[in-house]
Amino acid sequence: MIHRFEIGDMRATILSDGPLRLGRPGRIFTDTPAAALGAALAAAGQAPDRIFVEQNCLLLETGGKRVLFDNGMGTDTMFGTACGRLPNSLAEAGVGPETIDALVLTHAHSDHCWGTMGDDGTPNFPNASIYMAEQELAFWTADRITSQDDVSLAGVRKHLLPLRDRIVTLRDGEAFLPGVQAWLTPGHTPGHLAFLFDGGWCLTGDVAFHEPLSYAYPDDRSSYDADPDQGVTTRRRMLDRLASERLNVVGYHHPWPGLGQVERAGGVYRFVAAQAS
Ligand SMILES: [Zn+2]
């Protein structure tokens, strides 16, 4: 499944890796009554008792390079069997994996980088450099990782560390490709990056990962965030900026294809999906 559009004067395509079946809403949004979560989900036309999210990978063509932002679950099925569709979406777009010049990672969780390496230990994108925050790489290669990070750590060791020679680390504010700037947004992980694009766009990653719950309950301390309090602070800071600057948003986990804008709504926020063209 693909969706073509433009970001400034750059060609852009959303490539679906398919949806994930996650946990019960109250296991993820821990501060909000379950009834309120269920009502918000139902009002958005979603299942009230289970979180399902899309995976919208952005392919950007800039400066003569093909750049893929996040790459989905690969062959792993811990969040169901409807994911792992990125290779099909690339084929539908007529893009060979060998023509991808850069893999850019918002962070190193499973659903964002487990499409990097094939199960046979060869890279799925054989000619791609890998860009990620220096803080993210440092976190996943540090000595002290808690047990709840074991699954993610195993993924980092399978998908990223064998390709360490290709990893380029990014700093906050770094303009590392034409029209593309890194924005350090820690909390979900210590080195989570959002990306700002020329033309007034922002790829938000997992800072406000769920539409509508992350917008309606931005102060909820998410069990998915490595530092839930920092996650709240960063989410508020990001959503304020997106609303104030009226940036166009690429939402990785938002309902397909994940494009829209953020508005303030009575002390919280609302995501307004772009009209499908
Ligand atoms: Zn995610």
pLDDT band, very low/low/confident/very high, at 271 (cuts 50, 70, 90): very high
DSSP assignment of 65-103:
EEEEE----TT--TT-SS---HHHHHHHHT--GGG--EE
Instruction: Tell me if 107 sits within 8 A of 206, measured CB to CB.
Output: yes
209 CA to centre of ligand 1 in angstroms: 7
262 CA to centre of ligand 1 in angstroms: 19
108 CA to centre of ligand 1 in angstroms: 9
The pLDDT value recorded for residue 143 is 75
Residues 6+ apart with CB under 8 A from 109: 152, 155, 189, 206
| DSSP code of residue 18 | -
Q: Coil, helix or strand for 137?
A: helix
State pLDDT tens for residues 153-183. Answer: 999 999 999 999 999 999 999 999 999 999 9
CATH H-level, domain 2-204: superfamily: Ribonuclease Z/Hydroxyacylglutathione hydrolase-like (3.60.15.10)
23 CA to centre of ligand 1 in angstroms: 13
Per the listing, tokens 């993820």 go with 28
53 CA to centre of ligand 1 in angstroms: 9
| Alpha-carbon 81 to chain mean position | 19
State pLDDT tens for residues 203-233. Answer: 999 999 999 999 999 999 999 999 999 999 9
48 CA to centre of ligand 1 in angstroms: 20
State pLDDT tens for residues 93-135. Answer: 999 999 999 999 999 999 999 999 999 999 999 999 999 999 9
73 CA to centre of ligand 1 in angstroms: 10
State pLDDT tens for residues 64-92. Answer: 999 999 999 999 999 999 999 999 999 99
Domain boundaries, the chain: 2-204
252 CA to centre of ligand 1 in angstroms: 7
Closest residue by Cα to residue 75 from 38, 116, 109, 106 = 116
253 CA to centre of ligand 1 in angstroms: 7
175 CA to centre of ligand 1 in angstroms: 23
pLDDT above 90 as % of the chain: 95
Instruction: Tell me if 74 sits within 8 A of 115, measured CB to CB.
Output: yes
